Amino acid sequence: MTTDQFSCYIARNILRDIFEFRGDRVSSIGGRTVRNIGASERLSLADRIFRSIRNKIITWQISSDQVLVEARLAEEYNVSKTPVREALALLSQEGLVEVIPRVGYRVTPISVQDVYESRIRRGQGS
């Protein structure tokens, strides 16, 4: 494991702890807006897929730089590509994945700096 991979691993573990502590209500990560989803809200299919993929990214079940393909995810979740596309668009808005045209979505690394900035913003109530 390289130093960058280790830093990303540590950052993801901290993020996982933040999500668990706050009940899935983190407002920002490294300047990126994160959806606030309460447990009592009814979630659409796209939101459920979004949360599942996001949790897999944060808990390192999906590694940085891994490419996600709509068709494979649709098959994995046993849904059409539309809710998967919507979920990936939400993940892209949060900066957890980036679009690779005609290929799919690449999982972006989460740095320790991103986590640090998130914790500072959280402490300031932003």
Q: Which stretches of the chain are DSSP H helices?
A: 3-21, 45-58, 70-77, 81-93, 112-124
Question: For 34-64, how does the pLDDT look when each residue is reduced to its tens digit (9 = 90+)?
Answer: 455 554 456 789 999 999 999 898 888 998 8
DSSP secondary-structure letter at 111? -
Domain spanning 3-124, CATH class = mainly alpha
Predicted local distance difference test score (pLDDT) of residue 25: 45
Separation CA 70–CA 34 (nearest Å): 21
Percentage of the chain exceeding pLDDT 90: 40
Using only C-alpha atoms, what is the Rg of the chain?
14
Question: For 2-31, how does the pLDDT look when each residue is reduced to its tens digit (9 = 90+)?
Answer: 766 666 666 666 666 555 544 444 444 444
* In the chain, domain spans: 3-124
Separation CA 34–CA 37 (nearest Å): 9
